Structure 1
Amino acid sequence: MARPKKKAFGERGSWFATVDGERLPCVHFHWIKGLHHCDPGYIDGVAPWPKFVDAIRQMRKVIVTKDKPIREQDGKSGLQFERIGYIAVFSVDNIQTDEEGLKFELKDRLYDLQG
């Protein structure tokens, strides 16, 4: 049975997008291996990370995005991203932050996104 498809609306530079009136945090597919996400760009206490991580912890949902990685000299991960689309909304669990980055497990694929 096909999952329902919904539309996400984001803004350039925002780490969030809106689906059905709900503003959700967006994560890059690039940092996902299997069902495990680890973004090494996480820096404790540096904006916008605290607000972003708090939203993931409270909502326990994320939007996984399609992105074009671009090399960046100054960033912790060495990459920045240009969003080119949205894949799906997932529920998440086991949310952790440490020196390795922002980590969590993707649990259920709640719905697919158009574009």
Structure 2
Amino acid sequence: METKKAIGRQGWWFASVDGKALPCVHKYWWPSGAIYHDPFERHEGRNIQNQLNEYVGAIMNGHQVILTDDKAMLDSNGKLVGFQRSRYIAVYDVDDVEFSVANGLRFRFVRRLHELEP
């Protein structure tokens, strides 16, 4: 399998691989072998609708994501408030993408396409 390089930046929910912007998803929300499910609860009360529409639309239309490893950031009460990306893992094809405000983002990983440089 070919290894590629992903380039991202803080605050952007995407990273570029071979000049193509792909949405980044957190390994945190993908228990081994299960359906990916990010409830998006950490974004409650924030005005992110445009960013969220772009992100979810890219997953639904492109069916490719970058899986990332991240450090979970917690508030003083232990509630998850965000992530700090630590590395890019791989590019995947995904399918059965669903999103709703009530249930968050769900999809199934189909195939690992490329490894990414650490």
TM-score scaled by length of structure 1: 0.87
- 1:47-104: CA deviations, max 9, x gaps? 311110001111100000010001147xxx7330000110000000000013221000
Alignment RMSD, CA only? 1.8
Check conservation: 2:89, 2:115, Cα contact below 8 A: yes
Q: How far apart, in 2, do the equivalents of 1:16 and 1:60 lie?
A: 14
AA matched with 1:20: D
- Asked if 1:89 corresponds to 2:91, the answer is yes
Contact kept, 8 Å, 1:35 with 1:107, in 2: the verdict is: no
Instruction: Give structure 1 regions of 4+ aligned residues with deviation exceeding 2 angstroms.
Output: none
Identity %: 39
1:47 corresponds, among 50, 54, 59, to 50
- Which residue pairs with 1:24 in the alignment? 22
In structure 2, the residue matched to 1:11 is 9
What is the alpha-carbon distance in structure 1 between the residues aligned to residue 110 and residue 38 of structure 2? 17
Unaligned runs of 5+ in 2: none
Higher percent of residues as helix: 2
Q: Distance in 1 between matches of 2:4 and 2:14?
A: 16
1:113 aligns with 2:111: no
Query: What CA distance in whole angstroms lies between the structure 2 residues aligned with 1:30 and 1:111?
Result: 20
Structure 1 window deviating more from structure 2 (46-55 vs 84-93): it is 46-55
How many residue pairs align between the two structures?
109
Residue 115 of structure 2 aligns to a residue whose secondary structure is strand
TM-score, with length taken from structure 2:
0.85
Preserved CA contact (<8 Å) 1:6 1:112: yes
Gap runs ≥5 in structure 1: none
